[in-house]
Amino acid sequence: MTHLLEDGHSEQSPARDGSGVGVDISAVLTVASQVAGATGLVTVSSSASRWMKRTARFRQQADVAKKVLGLHQGGMVAYRHDSRHVLYTGTETLHPDNLHGLVAASGNDYVRAQQAGRVRIEDELRAHAAHDLVLIGSPIAEGLSRVLFGYVPDGDADSLTLSDAPVDLPYRWVMSKNDVAEGAVARRLVPGRGMVERPNWRITGPERSYVPRVDEDGVLLEDYLLVTKLRNYLSPVALDDGRAVISFGGTHGTGTRALGLIFRDRDVLGELVDQLRSRPAAFQMLFRVGDIAHDQKAGSHARAIELVENAIILPDNDQVWRTAAQTLERNLR
């Protein structure tokens, strides 16, 4: 039986419980589907728990959005983020932008479980790839996303290129320094870090590229958030059980942090309900986030979000996902 480790490598080990591939996770929230009825259990890393207690809010709209996105349909949901970000490698600190995304995606479940006394705090967590997975952050920060989407370092630990992607997707992150013009940077405020300068990554689409807009000083004015839902092809059991993987990844952290706006904006929520009415098993949606406030204490955060194009419904058949699983296995070897 193969484990997918946090750094994207694999190792052989005995089967544990028949659930297929396992995933070691250090900053993850594992949520039982019954938590909505206050009978499930939430497990959260201790560092994330302290932050979430101060920020999570119960919002009915978030539940609507989750249902439309196809989350929490049964079984377990594992939330994972921030295992590889270069600014936080080797520390116990979680990237605050991605942590905002984690709270937005899981806050209601966390609050319910907390109110019901069903929260368990642990320093290190384990979840299986046979669960539904929610990945917070682009592959530049979220290590499992690199494996899932087919990104590999291209000579720099902070630079990734797409190589032998398991699934051919219409929207893709461009995160290679070789593909970014010299001097093309985006600057934003990160709590505890001050002004941070990063290469101005972009997203390519079916017909054009989407480059975050900056001012004359390189300060971020607009960012993008890519939402991708796929069947969980990390293990045969996950595929057979109809498990899903959904990724929320910004071009920069400000885009990832804006995930919470999807759950609060009634217009955007209405578009989600309309476009995903058929409950597709796989799709991509690209959002533009703007009206960015740059605050020394709170960090740079968007206050507006809009859907760039209509959702792209992806092919969903057994051959697509079996081929993706074979490609992923080949990449790991």
The string of pLDDT tens digits covering residues 284-299 is 999 999 999 898 888 8
Gap between the Cα atoms of 303 and 292, Å rounded: 6
State pLDDT tens for residues 50-104. Answer: 655 655 544 556 667 777 777 655 556 676 665 666 666 655 566 777 777 777 7
Q: Which of 115-119, 120-124, 300-304 has the lowest mean pLDDT?
A: 120-124
Gap between the Cα atoms of 235 and 15, Å rounded: 13
Q: Which of 15-24, 25-34, 43-52, 245-254 has the lowest mean pLDDT?
A: 15-24
Domain count, the chain: 1
pLDDT at residue 110 above 70? no
* Domain range for 213: 2-332
Q: Do the Cβ atoms of 75 and 243 come closer than 8 Å?
A: yes
